[in-house]
Amino acid sequence: MNHQPQHEGLSPATDFTPTQIRDAVRRLLDADELPPVVQAGHPVLRQLAAPYDGQLDDVELAALVDRMREVMHDAPGVGLAAPQLGIPLQVAVLEDQYDLDPVSAAVRHREQMEFFVIVNPHYTPLGTEMASFYEGCLSVNGYQAVVTRYRNVELRYLTPAGEPVEEWFSGWQARIVQHETDHLHGTLYLDRAEIRSLASNAEHSARWATPDIEDARRSLGFLH
């Protein structure tokens, strides 16, 4: 989405009261149209989102999750965090059902991922193996950059029903998990990116949309 949302006077997420968070969610849910995705430069993306601890009732939380999933599909994307809709709450939705050619899928270790919701997540690397690939973000519209991330992680989170989960992710699924969890802690993918790799979507499609990053690495001069 190209529309720049206007949210004035945001306080740090830790200063938001449960009532303020609930009111912001209600305004979002009452809107007739899907909300725009908040873009880089908005302070909500640079704050530690408030842990979910009952600021919403079960119906409101389910409705927020449904709206987030709608926005993710409409964008389209494979994940969306509540701060990307201006809501400073540690909730994110993830889903990867896109078809890839077998070569790209094999190189990127990318498998489809069923829809699920993470609440108050934290990830821990499993081992030291890293992987570097181009990725983008709905809140940094129009660009992609290479990010080096852990290939395998353990994610601890709550379901919307409050059930604790410990789950291992690898490959592209681990990348999505790390990207969305980072959002809830005020980190954008650009903070971890090889800045020399930064490319517009058009340049990426024309030059660097290969399964790996070797051509881009040599031509743009990063990760020597």
The residues annotated with a catalytic role in the active site are: 180
Find the helix or strand (DSSP H, E) in which 92 lies. strand 91-96
CB 117 within 8 A of CB 180: no
Residue type at position 171: G
Secondary structure (DSSP) of 146-206: EEEEESEEEEEEE-TT--EEEEEEEHHHHHHHHHHHHHTTT--GGGGEEEEEEEEHHHIII
Residue type at position 213: I
Beta bridge partners of 169: 153
CB 95 within 8 A of CB 75: no
Beta bridge partners of 193: 147
| Burial of 32 from C-beta contacts in 10 A (0-12 / 13-18 / 19+) | exposed
Question: What is the CA 11 to chain-centroid distance, rounded?
Answer: 22
